[in-house]
Structure 1
Amino acid sequence: MSETNQPDEKLVGIELSASNLKAVCLQADGNLLDSQTVFLNRNEEIFPQLINFINQLKSQHKDFKKIGIAVPGLVNHLTNRIAFSTHIPEQTEVDFVNQINEQTGLITIVENDANAAAYGEYLLGAGRGSRDIFYVTLGIGVGGAIIVNGNIWRGTSGYAGEFGYMTLNSEGIKLEEVASASNIIRRIKNRFHQDQTSSLVEIGEENITIADVVREANNGDNFAQMMLERTGMFVGTGVASVINLLNIEKIIVGGEVMGAESFVLDAIIERAGELSFAPSFETTQIVAGELKDLAAPIGVALITGKKN
């Protein structure tokens, strides 16, 4: 995928989340060779588990010299450190890039997970053939990324694309406060007293996960469907602003919430159509991501392949 890659070079990327490590190994042309996931023990430090996983990958795939790590937080590309993360705060400002290099011998690159996922979709997923895209991820958080002419657009300080911080009304409610996984569940719990017929009630308030909500919506639960459609309306409000501001060619929506694509995406498109400038909306495609939960590790592997 890059002029700097050797034909037989392997590209390896890992997505680091609060709960697991997800890795892919690609050929230089983007062909997926392997993917695997290990769950983190949150009672132990993350870094030693990451090193063990990398060493495991090294023993399985010997022909790679670089590795990319996609992280859920802001990345300072001048220092190669996580500048801020609510999901893995213990890794903030830790020089783990050099530590990984010292302990594994691999050149290490760190990237924001939304930027990584956007790049993966741009080259190998729903963005193929597009010049410019805006990527939205709906999961543990709400993130965004901008790609212009094949390059991640980072802004002045490197933090462009923070879609979850867009405000939805004059009270200052941010998109992440209503559309992230935890806040979707919070909104569902707040409405339980209005709908005791939902299959989610049987799971119990304290046990519901976003995976439960997605599954029950796909199984026909009207309440779960309604709550995800309303989430889509919130996201569509933010998407309309992106369309009005950027007149972007394509908007790609990914993340765990999109497991219930038919309910979320249609609502996003409907709301964006209502609120955006019609000539811009008519030339913008709004589509679901194709790489699913591998978008970020694939993307960061490809980014790693670009680096000399």
Structure 2
Amino acid sequence: MIGFEIGYSNLRGVKLDAEHRIVGFNQAIWDTRESLVAQIIDFINRTKEIFGDFERVGVAVSGIVDKTRNKVLLSRHFAELSSTDLAAELKQNCKVDAVLENDANAGAWAEYKLGAGIGAQSIFYILLGKGVGGAIVCGDKLWRGSAGFAGEIGHVLVNTEENLRVEDVASSDGILRRIRNRIHQDQTSSLARISEELITITDVVREANNGDDFTQMMLERTGNYLGVAVAGLINILNTEKIIVGGDIMQAGAPILRGISQTTAQFAFRPSLDSTQIISGSLGEKSVAIGAALLT
């Protein structure tokens, strides 16, 4: 089984054997100045040289995917994908049948089957990236909603005074914007040694893991915001597990701490007590793994 993730800065591909073990991995950074579709085609063809020939692949993208037509309907961050029949392009140029999937759905399925969701009958998965996505798995099925758009937690309002949604505060762009707006108030932070406009999520993860108080505080506050939406999920869905994934969760402890603080305030106690809130366990490969499993 072969799966690809079209990430915001990376293209990732994995090959799974019959026991769902990773037996191949490939990764590339894509150039925003060039056609994304052309780079996807090139990446898949180069991956064939590493994995050996294959005819069917899963491809996970950030955006709304019409599963009936196997097309990307809307991608806020990859407009080119919305105007391209990606599956047809891959069929013509790579000689593969591509099954398109939303990235959060793919990540959720991977964690449910092979990661932090093992043993649970129901999970809600949150993918923190350049956007914020979500997905529901219940009874060994992805629950897509009536039109296929279920799980879009990124659009949930968490601050009515400033009209802030989850994506505004918990996406990588949102986290960086908040840090850049506050860093001048804490010149003792190790992040203060970096020019504000040059701070990246990689820097944030590194300094949080190195124990920088300011960085950990900002991630904890990210969790506080996210916890407002998570409390609503707990109250309405009462899934066994809420799993938080994405690259930022490499420094996830303060985010989970912030979520726990807020859910303790706003979630219905019996529902909260029966729900685990945890990090995903599959790391950067989770979305590509899920894309492979869903082919």
Please give the TM-score of this superposition, normalised by the length of structure 1. 0.92
Label 1:45 to 1:270 Cα distance change in 2 as closer, same or farther (>3 A).
same
**CA displacement 1:196-249 (0-9 Å, x = unmatched):** 111111111110011111111111211111100100111111110000010111
Aligned pair count? 294
The AA in structure 1 aligned to 2:149 is Y
The AA in structure 2 aligned to 1:272 is T
Q: Identify the range of structure 1 (99-108 vs 247-256) with the bigger mean alpha-carbon deviation.
A: 99-108
Shift of residue 77 of structure 1? 1.3
The correspondence for 2:200, drawn from 209, 223, 243, is 209
Quote the residue 2:254 is aligned against.
Answer: 263
- Please give the alpha-carbon distance, in whole angstroms, between the structure 1 residues aligned to 2:211 and 2:70: 45
Quote the residue 1:117 is aligned against.
Answer: 107
Q: Identify the range of structure 1 (77-86 vs 54-63) with the bigger mean alpha-carbon deviation.
A: 54-63
Given that 2:26 and 2:47 are in contact with CA atoms closer than 8 Å, whether structure 1 keeps it comes out as no
Shift of residue 302 of structure 1? 0.2
Given that 1:13 and 1:67 are in contact with CA atoms closer than 8 Å, whether structure 2 keeps it comes out as yes
1:33 counterpart = 2:41? no
Quote the residue 1:44 is aligned against.
Answer: 34
Q: Identify the range of structure 1 (44-53 vs 237-246) with the bigger mean alpha-carbon deviation.
A: 44-53
The correspondence for 1:287, drawn from 260, 278, 283, is 278
Q: Identify the range of structure 1 (236-245 vs 260-269) with the bigger mean alpha-carbon deviation.
A: 260-269
- Please give the alpha-carbon distance, in whole angstroms, between the structure 1 residues aligned to 2:88 and 2:64: 18
1:231 counterpart = 2:231? no
The correspondence for 2:168, drawn from 177, 196, 199, is 177
- Please give the alpha-carbon distance, in whole angstroms, between the structure 2 residues aligned to 1:37 and 1:279: 43
Given that 2:249 and 2:279 are in contact with CA atoms closer than 8 Å, whether structure 1 keeps it comes out as yes
Given that 2:24 and 2:51 are in contact with CA atoms closer than 8 Å, whether structure 1 keeps it comes out as no
Matched position secondary structure for 1:99:
helix
Quote the residue 1:5 is aligned against.
Answer: none
The correspondence for 2:121, drawn from 123, 131, 142, is 131
Please give the TM-score of this superposition, normalised by the length of structure 2. 0.96
Structure 2, unaligned runs of 5 or more: none
- Please give the alpha-carbon distance, in whole angstroms, between the structure 2 residues aligned to 1:188 and 1:200: 9
Quote the residue 2:144 is aligned against.
Answer: 154
Shift of residue 80 of structure 1? 1.4
- Please give the alpha-carbon distance, in whole angstroms, between the structure 1 residues aligned to 2:178 and 2:164: 14
Structure 1, unaligned runs of 5 or more: 1-10
Quote the residue 2:155 is aligned against.
Answer: 165
Quote the residue 1:194 is aligned against.
Answer: 185
- Please give the alpha-carbon distance, in whole angstroms, between the structure 1 residues aligned to 2:140 and 2:264: 26
Quote the residue 1:3 is aligned against.
Answer: none
The correspondence for 1:144, drawn from 107, 117, 134, is 134
Shift of residue 53 of structure 1? 1.5
Identity %: 46
Shift of residue 169 of structure 1? 3.2
- Please give the alpha-carbon distance, in whole angstroms, between the structure 2 residues aligned to 1:60 and 1:198: 43
Q: How does 1:13-92 map to 2 (within 5 A)?
A: 13-62=3-52, 64-92=54-82
- Please give the alpha-carbon distance, in whole angstroms, between the structure 2 residues aligned to 1:92 and 1:83: 5
The correspondence for 2:239, drawn from 239, 248, 260, is 248
**CA displacement 1:57-113 (0-9 Å, x = unmatched):** 223323632101110111111221111112111111411101211222211100010
Matched position secondary structure for 1:94:
coil
